[in-house]
Structure 1
Amino acid sequence: TINASCIGSSRGCSASDPNSRSDLVVADQVSFSTTPSVSQITFDLLGNPLDTASSGVSILITSAQNQASVCINSQGYVSEG
């Protein structure tokens, strides 16, 4: 699951106490966005992204001072954007 304030598992991002979990990233004053716009990335058994993300997806992580990008290509390879 990816939304403006969380990236992680669906259960992790919807947990009432995210500090008790290790399957998500939540940071104050940081936002997450994707291109193409997706709210969830699912993978097949070989690690390839499916559905809207099947051609690859870029995840932009933004704070007031910095930004970073992480890319997942169509074969599931994760790299710096």
Structure 2
Amino acid sequence: MAGLRQRHGTPILIRSDFAGCTHGILAHIRGLREHGLDTRFSVGVAITEPIRQAILAAKQHLLWVPALDSDGEPRDGAEV
């Protein structure tokens, strides 16, 4: 972690596309905070028609709605 000394205390934003959206990678980024690094992340995803429709439906409700998994089924304990 030699290079980390220069970053200590400086916020670091780690950006990724959908390929970086895994529990392991995001948990690792969060874990770096234990070493004094102010790490944050942003993951982008292509807006497909099903995603677009889900966003529009959520906007109409103006409330929390169940999040869906990649099969379009509700994710247990997740809302947007």
Q: Bin the TM-score by the shorter chain.
A: under 0.3
Higher Rg of the two aligned structures: 2
TM-score (norm 2): 0.21
